[in-house]
Amino acid sequence: MARSALLNVMVQAAFKAGKSLARDFGEVQNLQVSLKGPSDYVSQADRKAERSIREDLLKARPTYGFLGEEGEEIKGTDGAHRWIVDPLDGTTNFLHGLPHFAISMALERQGEIVAAVVFNPATDELYTAERGGGAFLNDRRLRVGARKVLSDAVVGTGTPHLGRGNHGKYLIELRHVMGEVAGIRRFGSASLDLAYVAAGRYDGFWERDLAAWDIAAGVLLVREAGGWVTDIDGGSKPVEDGSIICGNEYIAKALREVIHRPVPTK
């Protein structure tokens, strides 16, 4: 596959930060047995990865803005472009020695995502997309799954946890969905969840209470793989809304209908 110069910059920044995270991940697994635990070490790894990515991206395009999870937003003088980065999506997995985490990067141009990279250093899976150019896993072109009915579908989700989200509302949605699908999965990394939809591993996905860096890259991956992406209520800007439903045309629509199904009253 041919990559633009900007996408190549993103890929190289992801590989560089990924090597560092892979080394730190090995150390975290060793720290599991310590009394203090690995939490402080992980937060340092997270910040170190973001610094590395920020330096590489802004070196290539110093006038662009930068929004990352770990630091304050940098307003670019360009005004039209912004990098959106999560240096370690799946921090809890990383913390517990689970090899399911990713670096997520997106380039936004005048409010639209035009390039995306999601890289899992533990598996060496590199997902890339450019607007109008398709989505790829390493060098293989991606297409969303072809299943058309929820009863055949495996869907991913993100579950609220301690101190996050509306637990009651989510449990209602989960109850509705679990009675309609072949399976539900919760892997704990939104960027990889969306990459899995793009790759046809999941047939659909939904989640609320997300930040821009959680899903900006994944939104483009799914769209460039032929998928439908909306916010929970069917709007066209999930990155701004902070909620998402996606899949192919049939699964995304059916999933949205089930999630919004009225709660039966006694």
Is 86 flagged in the annotation as binding?
A: yes
The DSSP secondary-structure symbol of 78 reads S
Of 135, 118, 180, 174, which is closest to residue 154 (Cα–Cα)? 180
Encode 84-98: b = buried (16+ Cβ within 10 Å), e = exposed: bbbbbbbbebbbeeb
- How many of the other CB atoms lie within 10 Å of CB of 148? 13
List Cα–Cα distances, 28 to 38, 50, 154, 185, in angstroms.
Answer: 6, 18, 31, 25
The CATH number of 150-260, from 3.40.190.80, 3.40.50.720, 3.40.50.300, 3.40.50.970, is 3.40.190.80
Give the whole-angstrom CA distance, residue 205 versus residue 190: 9
Encode 116-145: b = buried (16+ Cβ within 10 Å), e = exposed: bbbbbbbeebbbbbbeebbbbbeeeebebb
Is 69 flagged in the annotation as binding?
A: yes
Is 88 flagged in the annotation as binding?
A: yes
List Cα–Cα distances, 107 to 5, 158, 198, in angstroms.
Answer: 13, 24, 18
- Is the model's pTM score more than 0.75? yes
- How many of the other CB atoms lie within 10 Å of CB of 73? 11
pLDDT of residue 96: 84
Span 133-149, average pLDDT: 97
Listed by start position, the domains of the chain span 5-141, 150-260
Give the whole-angstrom CA distance, residue 41 versus residue 3: 35
Does the domain formed by 5-141 have CATH 3.40.30.10?
A: no
Question: Which three-class secondary structure state does DSSP give residue 42?
Answer: helix
In tens, the pLDDT along 145-161 reads 999 999 999 999 999 98
Is 89 flagged in the annotation as binding?
A: yes
List Cα–Cα distances, 242 to 9, 26, 163, 221, in angstroms.
Answer: 27, 32, 17, 17
List Cα–Cα distances, 97 to 30, 46, 159, in angstroms.
Answer: 9, 15, 20
Is 257 flagged in the annotation as binding?
A: no
pLDDT of residue 36: 44
Angle, to 10 degrees, between the axis of helix 5-31 and the axis of helix 39-60? 170
In tens, the pLDDT along 203-230 reads 999 999 999 999 999 999 999 999 999 9
pLDDT of residue 33: 44
Q: Which two tokens stand for residue 114?
A: 């035009």
What is the chain's length?
266
Fold agreement (5-141, 150-260): no
pLDDT of residue 211: 95
